[in-house]
Each structure stands twice: as structure tokens, then as C-alpha cells.
Amino acid sequence: METRHIIEIKKKHVIVAIVCIIIGIVIGVSGILLIEKHKESEASNKEIITTTSTSSLRDNSSKEEVNSNLPDKTLSDLELYKNGRYGFSVQYPSNWIKGTVPANGDGIVISPQDGTIELQVSGSNNTLNHTAYNEYNRALSKSYEYGIPGFHTVSDDWYVVTYTDGTFIYYVKGFVGKGSINTMRIKYLQLMKDQYQPVIQQLEGSFNHGNFDIAH
């Protein structure tokens, strides 16, 4: 009887030991899983922070580039371009670069180095005796062909047509006289519309059509 009792006690000890080992294993595995999950969470958070920081840096970089293209409020930061053939003129930011003047001297393209905005001014002789309405209708038809029309209007001797192709906004203003047609075209990134609004207003306000009653 005593021997049997001792054997039963030993069996209980073995069972208890096995249970303790199993519990220890479960706790150990759970701990490892929790540690791995914590590491994954930290890695995910770092990736989100890195992505957000990179995106923020890109946005700030874009804003800095656009701001560098904006003219200051003083006229000393503006350059004057005057066309020697047709007589029209326009003021533009002094940090923009003038393109090559064509052989016929009919105009020029001026823009900053980043290409987010482009100014083109040009003239042509009105050999077909077009009116402002003729030029307006032609520009409006082109806006439907190449994009989605925006604001457009026409008067006796000038017109304005704007449109977008989804990436750029195009602003066209033309003065139509008996002798010549002098036109300003501005192309700029649609995403930068708000930032460039003061520039568009300054360019449009400074554009002088010159003497368009005679041919050149």
C-alpha cells in the first residue's frame, strides 16, 4: 500500500511538471509573438513617418520652386521686354530666362528654368483683315480641340480665351488691329494655379499691344 501511494505521488509530480512545462512553453511562444508584433508595428510606424516626411519635403520643395518664380512687389524685380518689330511690350520676373529670338523678330518665349510656367508674346500682320471676333472664334475652337474651355470673352479689338488640358492651364489674350495682331499666351501648371495667380495678373496687366493699326 505504501509503495503504491509513493508511485501515485510521483505520477502527480510528473503531471504537474509536464503541465508547468507546457504553460512555460505557451508563455514563451506568446512572448515571442508579442515582441515580433511590436517590432512590426514599430517598423510600420517608421515607414509611415518616413513616407509622410518625404511627401512633406516634396511639397515644400515644390512651393519653394514656385515662390522663386514669383516677382516681388517692387518694379525693380521685373524686366521689360519690348518687341522691336511690332512694338508690343511686357514686364516679367527678372529671374526668368528669355528664349532665342526668331529670325523674323515676331516675338519671344520667356520662362523660369523649372518649366512650371511659360510666357509667349508674338505679333503677326493682319493680312486677312481679321476682326477680334474672328481671332476669338479661332482661339475658342482650339480650346475645344485641345482641352476644356474656361473663361472666354471678346470685345471690339481684343479677346481672352482660357482652357486646360488637365495638366496645364492656357491663357490667351490677343489685340487685333487693322495692321497687326499682337498676342500673349501663358501656359502654367494647373496644380500651381493659386500660387501663380498674382503672376498672371501682373503679366496680363503689363502687356502693351503697341501700335497695331499699321503693318510691320
pLDDT higher than 70, residue 13 = no
Confirm whether pTM is higher than 0.95: no
**Nine-digit cell at 42?**
514599430
pLDDT of residue 40: 56
pLDDT higher than 50, residue 55 = no
State percent of the chain over pLDDT 90.
Answer: 64
- Per the model's pLDDT, the better-predicted residue between 59 and 107 turns out to be 107
Residue 150, burial from CB neighbour count under 10 angstroms (0-12, 13-18, 19+): middle
pLDDT of residue 31: 56
Over residues 109-123, mean pLDDT:
97
- For the stretch 180-208, pLDDT in tens is 999 999 999 999 999 999 999 999 999 99
pLDDT higher than 80, residue 73 = no
pLDDT higher than 80, residue 4 = no
pLDDT higher than 50, residue 50 = no
pLDDT higher than 50, residue 53 = no
pLDDT of residue 44: 47
**Nine-digit cell at 13?**
509530480
pLDDT of residue 51: 43
Mean per-residue pLDDT of the chain: 81
pLDDT of residue 67: 56
pLDDT of residue 74: 41
pLDDT of residue 202: 95
pLDDT higher than 50, residue 49 = no
- For the stretch 125-152, pLDDT in tens is 999 999 999 999 999 999 999 999 999 9
Residue keyed to cell 501700335: 211
